[in-house]
Amino acid sequence: MTIRLIPCLAALLLAILGWAEPAAAQVPIGPGPSPVREGLEIGTSTSEIAITSDFRGADLTVFGALTNADELFLAIGQYDVVVTLEGPRDAATVRRKERVFGIWMNTQSVTFEQVPESYSMASTRPVEDIQGPTSLTRMGVGLDHLALSPIGYVGNALAVADFREAYRRLKLSSGLYQRDSAGVRFVSPSLFRATLRLPANVPDGVHVAHAYLFKSGELILQRELPLRVVKTGLEQTITDAAHQQPLAYGLVCVLVALVTGWGASVLFRKD
């Protein structure tokens, strides 16, 4: 009887091993392959711009490279790049003038908190064709999508929209805000360059260059680099005197005005 049970037990053991072996074969050994993601590297033609007495503006070139880019997406133009240059942030006040009793007076004003004093943007195509307005506003990319938040304003929301539009219009007319919908060009399948214009009245301080990489309309990467704009020579001396010695600076200005006026009266006096 025992001899007959041995083959049965052996068959049962083989059956158990046979069921366990496929289950063990399905367990992966080590981590699986990770998907390759794109990379973005950027650089600027200079890290510092000096404002001198004959400064008439300057051009800043931002260049970059895509790494691990999908060849098919490159071929069909599914990669877009947006490059911006933001100036130092500060509060900005917009005032509305109205005619009161025949005199133009400031009647209303709105102050926006921490907005860029200058803003230049270049892109491979119009940003509205790359992303929807809601996403652009959330990211703060584009002249029409910068965050303009009023400080302590209580009133009609439509009036705030008018002040926002007036602020953008004034900045565009002064050249401090600029945009170029075709300012980013791919010089090779994975290399691009963008040229941003800095006007003659560009504010000094630390500016930040941003590069945004979109793939099929989705933001996948962002890089940034600082850029210093500094005054040199006489301009820097005058600026330092105005901020560090305001009383002496004011007295010198009054003295210069008096001397200039007296000299003009002597030169053009009619005997």
pLDDT at 227 over 80: yes
pLDDT of residue 151: 86
Arithmetic mean of pLDDT over the chain: 81
What is the model's pLDDT at position 240? 62
Q: Provide the 10 A C-beta neighbour count for residue 238.
A: 14
- Over the stretch 84-94, which tens digit does the pLDDT of each residue have? 999 999 999 98
Instruction: State yes or no: pLDDT of 192 exceeds 70.
Output: yes
Residue 117 CA: distances (Å) to CA of 16, 50, 86, 162, 204: 76, 18, 8, 19, 10
Contacts of 218 (CB under 8 A, 6+ apart): none
Question: 29 pLDDT band (50/70/90 cuts)?
Answer: very low
CA dist 251 to 231, 240, 247, 254, 256, Å?
A: 23, 15, 6, 5, 9
pLDDT tens-digit readout, 140-174:
999 999 988 888 766 666 788 889 999 999 999 99
